[in-house]
Amino acid sequence: MAFLELTDVDKSYGDHQVLNGITLQVEKHQVVCLIGASGCGKSTLLRTINGLEEIQGGEISLDGDVISGEGVDLNAIRTRIGIVFQSFNLFPHMTALENITLAPRRVLGVSKAEADDYAMKLLTRVGLADKANAYPDKLSGGQQQRVAIVRAVAMNPDVILLDEITSALDPELVAEVLNIVKDLAAEGLTIVMATHEMSFAREVADTIAFLHEGRVLESGPPDQIFTAPREERTREFLHRIVEAGRL
């Protein structure tokens, strides 16, 4: 059984079915990239894994435990599954350091000194030690997103979900954020990420899953997906990406 496993997951908003029988296996230390057109359900999928959205059918399990459905301790699950959003969502009334240490201190009960210490180590690694006491509105988009990644990593999660984390960034800031993801992957963190950065996905991912209208239309190793996609839709999508100069 895979480390993170989604079996036949359905999700709808009212009558609108957004996820339609999603099945996906993510092994430990793997990087899985979700690709697909805007609106195909990538964000929704990530949000259901983190328990931010209820699902109407199917099952999600982590390390053998079912983590979907009624009665699960969402707060506990969320300490093991981190998520980073496209729009950073840093807390504007807290410094970078306070953003990072909030959850370790208030959820895990780590002491302030210890939390600060660990946060500073992580900030140093992403090159932001000097910004520890800066408020988000004094940081560039790339810096904010790096802090947001550190905020998720500081909880030492088993899995980290990244939802188009570079889409809101100016092109020249994308690399500084993706390099951190590469580091995390190299360290063996399990990562599921929705992305439009195809060359990055090709380089870093172990598995690519192509989503179309709420289904995983096909998935496989990057080389196969990018060079010999089985599905016509996948081919079309990649073709459009190439035309847009993104691959």
Partner 1 sequence: MSLGTATRPVRVSSPLAQRRDTSGSVMLIGSLVWLFTVAFTVWTALELPAVADEGWRVVIGIALWLVVALAVIAGLPLLRGIRYRTEAARADAAGDLAAARAARSRATQSGWVAAGWTLPLIAVAVFAQFLAANDHAVQTTFFDVPFMLRSLQDILVGFWVNVQIAIVAEVLILVWALFVALAKLTPGVAGRPIRWIATTYIDIFRAVPSIVVIYLIGFGLPLAQIPFLSDLGPFWSAVLALTLIYGAYVAEVYRSGIEGVHWSQVAASRSLGLSYGKTMRFVVVPQAVRRVMPPLLNDFIGLQKDTALVTIIGTVEAFTQAKIYAGNYFNLSSVTVVAIIFIIITIPQTRFVDRLIERDSRAKTRS
Q: Is 151 in the site for partner 1 (CB under 8 A)?
A: yes
Q: Is 75 in the site for partner 1 (CB under 8 A)?
A: yes
42 makes contact with ligand ADP (CB under 6 A): yes
CA distance 158 to 66: 15
Kindly write down the DSSP assignment for every residue of 66-128, as one continuous string.
E--STT--HHHHHHHEEEE-TT----TTS-HHHHHHHHHHHTS---HHHHHHHHHHHHHHTT-
- Residue matched to tokens 């810096």: 143
Of the residues 30, 43, 144, 195, which one makes contact with Mg ion according to CB under 5 A:
43
Partner whose footprint covers residue 13, from Mg ion, ligand ADP, partner 1, none (CB < 5 to 8 Å by kind): ligand ADP
Q: Is 146 in the site for ligand ADP (CB under 6 A)?
A: no
Q: Does 43 bind ligand ADP (CB under 6 A)?
A: yes
Instruction: Give the whole-angstrom CA distance, residue 26 versus residue 1.
Output: 10
Cβ proximity to ligand ADP: between 38 and 227 the closer is 38
Does position 146 bind partner 1 by CB under 8 A?
Answer: no
Q: Which residues bind partner 1 (CB under 8 A)?
A: 47, 50, 52, 74-79, 82-83, 85, 87, 89-93, 102-103, 106-107, 137, 151-152, 155
